[in-house]
Structure 1
Amino acid sequence: MRQFENIADATVRIEYESSRGSGFHFIDPEFVVTNHHVVEGVEASSSRAVAVSDRGHKVPLDLLDYSSTGQHDFAIFKAAGTLPPTRKALSPNAPAEFERGEEVAFAGFPHGVDDLLVQEAVVSGLVDPDHFYIDGSVNGGNSGGPIVNLQDGSVIGIVTDRRFLGKQDLSDLQDAAEDIRQHCKSIQGRGSVELMGIDFGAFAQLMAEGMMVIQQALEANANTGIGIGYSISFAEAKFNQINTGET
């Protein structure tokens, strides 16, 4: 299906420090959009995010503007290098109201791997007027990828999140593990307490690291087939401001 190939040619993997997500060429191939939470901190860093195609071509990105993770969760970049001529750009066309049953496709690099997947879904409901559910297997790494109307090939939203039971419990587990890890780190060098040959400082550190591994494995594999998209309209409005020189 040619539509799927066009979506694939517009989608990139986004790499920023240890973070991996997805993104897409927007309106013109030299511009790339992703979620802000994929590149959070880039606005205050000297490090650059990088866009990587499924064929392995890499191009550094310059941040133009963004909306915070807690607001509209997008970031707009401009390519700071040469792009292959095969790259495509997606044009926005967000509906005034998202409707159940609208046939869409979404694309990205689930789990941050090198393999680009384009998948079919439908809009299955509304979170609020700006967020909508899709019945797709959205995984970590899909964040920032495009959600495309299959009828006309326009991008209507950005993959932003996934919904699964126990997400808050996993987040609490991660916080607890990190607290233990940081405590163990803070007492390193103060000596050790051993009982029956067991170094309890090292044991606590090992337990904290084990909890983090368990949390990461559970979260990576938790999937109820429910994804959440954010309307592209906010990124489109900001892009238009940038191009017209407005603030």
Structure 2
Amino acid sequence: MRERRSLPIIVSIAVIIIGISSMIVIYDYWNSQELSVSNPVVNKVTMSSQSLDLKSIIHEAEKNVIQIEGHNEYNTSTGSGFLYNEKGDIITNAHVIKDAEAVYVRTANAQIYPAAVVGIGEELDIAVIRVPQLSGQGYLSVEKEETAEIGDEVIALGSPHGFQNTVTLGIISGSERNFHIDGFDYSNVYQISAQITHGNSGGPLINRETGKVIGINSVGTEDGTIGFSIPVNEVISQVEQWSNEAQNEQLEFASTADIINSYDPEQSLQDAEYIIDYFLESIEIRDYVNAYTLLGSAKQSELSYSQFREDYINIVDLSYSDISSEVTDQNQVNSTVDLTIETKLPNKEETNEETHTFDFIIGYENDQLKIITVTNN
């Protein structure tokens, strides 16, 4: 009786063992076979690592490159910097602001704000300043880990001689350069073929392939043929320490009115023509949001963003050779531009090219420079 009860159990165990053995054999067989796909719709997906478009890299970087002005009772020094976090913090060189009693910045869209010093090196030529009005905006991505190699293509941005957002191209032509200038020690810096001149100091050095900041442009030779840039991955820990410790209520900011009220007609002409150029560049690169923000409130109230975008969306290319400007009695700038505009014809592949004359009125609104009106004559 006991043997009869044992028989089903033994059979069940045997079946289970056979089943498991069969599954192992089948798995090994299928695992050794190469899978072939006969469906022509299914294709292997491959990733291509194409370099980013140069024009797009430059335009996006320009939005976050800042012109820095350090003022004291004797003179005004000019340099560059770039936004690197969401707090409105700007990385620059220490030598740009070390003697300044008040620091102001001019953004890519010609807005002027006071800045406060967050941290500044004594022997290390780096500094961080903060502009609360720029917090929450976009900023440049910084390469915190990798070190650039000789031969890497780079883009150097800055504001040499007061000309905002000047771009030079080159390569990393040397590395681990060490020297001492004006009380600052430069260690393991990049040597670059891109020109670094007065006003470029503190601007970003961008990797052409990734679009990330890899260096802080700092020193150039007298003839401008060789530049030197501090690797950002070697100083980012100090920069972040300053930024994390600084509280806005503990910082000292100058007054924006001080610089706005010292009206300079020559500077106004330069700023006006710059903002027009930046507006047209934004249209050409199809960055309509950026272009729209350059308009004054009255212009925006009569023209919604969707209407504005619709007016320019068919533009394929535009060019101009010169801007004619004059300062008006209202301390505004009246500028005339002959624009050659190539537009795509509706529902067609063809384009049409025409030249139009545009009049711009540039002036201050709430202490910031804006395009008050723009008309097509």
Aligned to 1:231: 231
Q: 1:120 aligns with which of 134, 146, 169?
A: 169
Moved more, 4-13 or 119-128: 119-128
Kindly state the Cα deviation for residue 130 of structure 1 after the two structures are TM-superposed. Answer: 2.2
Aligned to 1:159: 217
SS of the residue corresponding to residue 134 of structure 2 reads coil
* 1:142 and 2:200 correspond: yes
- Give per-residue Cα distances to partners, 1:181-236, cap 9 Å, x unaligned: xxxxxxxxxxxxxxxxxxxxxxxxxxxxxxxxxxxxxxxxx32x211101113441
Kindly state the Cα deviation for residue 99 of structure 1 after the two structures are TM-superposed. Answer: 1.3
SS of the residue corresponding to residue 66 of structure 2 reads strand
Kindly state the Cα deviation for residue 27 of structure 1 after the two structures are TM-superposed. Answer: 2.6
The one-letter code sitting in structure 2 at the alignment partner of 1:232 is: V
Residues 86-235 of structure 1 mapped to structure 2, 5 A cutoff: 88-94=138-144, 96-111=146-161, 113-126=162-175, 127-128=177-178, 130-164=188-222, 222-223=223-224, 225-235=225-235
Query: Take 2:134 and 2:146, find their aligned partners in 1: how far apart are those partners?
Result: 33
Query: Take 1:235 and 1:62, find their aligned partners in 2: how far apart are those partners?
Result: 20
- Give per-residue Cα distances to partners, 1:142-188, cap 9 Å, x unaligned: 01100011222211110000024xxxxxxxxxxxxxxxxxxxxxxxx
The one-letter code sitting in structure 1 at the alignment partner of 2:84 is: F
Q: 1:75 to 1:244 in 2, by over 3 A?
A: closer
Unmatched runs of 5 consecutive residues or more in structure 2: 1-54, 179-186, 247-377
Query: Take 1:243 and 1:23, find their aligned partners in 2: how far apart are those partners?
Result: 15
Kindly state the Cα deviation for residue 59 of structure 1 after the two structures are TM-superposed. Answer: 1.2
SS of the residue corresponding to residue 28 of structure 1 reads coil
Query: Take 2:78 and 2:110, find their aligned partners in 1: how far apart are those partners?
Result: 14
Q: 1:118 to 1:234 in 2, by over 3 A?
A: same
SS of the residue corresponding to residue 140 of structure 1 reads coil
Asked whether the equivalents of residues 64 and 108 of structure 2 are also in contact (C-alpha less than 8 Å), the reply is no
Q: 1:114 to 1:97 in 2, by over 3 A?
A: closer
Kindly state the Cα deviation for residue 57 of structure 1 after the two structures are TM-superposed. Answer: 0.5
Query: Take 2:124 and 2:157, find their aligned partners in 1: how far apart are those partners?
Result: 20
The one-letter code sitting in structure 2 at the alignment partner of 1:49 is: V
Asked whether the equivalents of residues 67 and 164 of structure 2 are also in contact (C-alpha less than 8 Å), the reply is no
Q: 1:35 aligns with which of 93, 102, 117?
A: 93
Query: How many residues align structurally?
Result: 179
Q: 1:115 to 1:41 in 2, by over 3 A?
A: closer
Query: Take 2:120 and 2:233, find their aligned partners in 1: how far apart are those partners?
Result: 13
Asked whether the equivalents of residues 169 and 194 of structure 2 are also in contact (C-alpha less than 8 Å), the reply is yes
SS of the residue corresponding to residue 139 of structure 2 reads coil
Task: Please give the TM-score of this superposition, normalised by the length of structure 2.
Answer: 0.44
Q: 1:96 to 1:51 in 2, by over 3 A?
A: same
SS of the residue corresponding to residue 4 of structure 1 reads helix
Query: Take 1:239 and 1:125, find their aligned partners in 2: how far apart are those partners?
Result: 25
SS of the residue corresponding to residue 92 of structure 1 reads coil
Task: Please give the TM-score of this superposition, normalised by the length of structure 1.
Answer: 0.66
* 1:59 and 2:113 correspond: yes
The one-letter code sitting in structure 1 at the alignment partner of 2:141 is: S
Kindly state the Cα deviation for residue 244 of structure 1 after the two structures are TM-superposed. Answer: 4.8
| Aligned Cα root-mean-square deviation (Å) | 2.3
Q: Which has the greater radius of gyration?
A: 2
Moved more, 91-100 or 148-157: 91-100
Asked whether the equivalents of residues 29 and 88 of structure 1 are also in contact (C-alpha less than 8 Å), the reply is no
SS of the residue corresponding to residue 130 of structure 1 reads strand
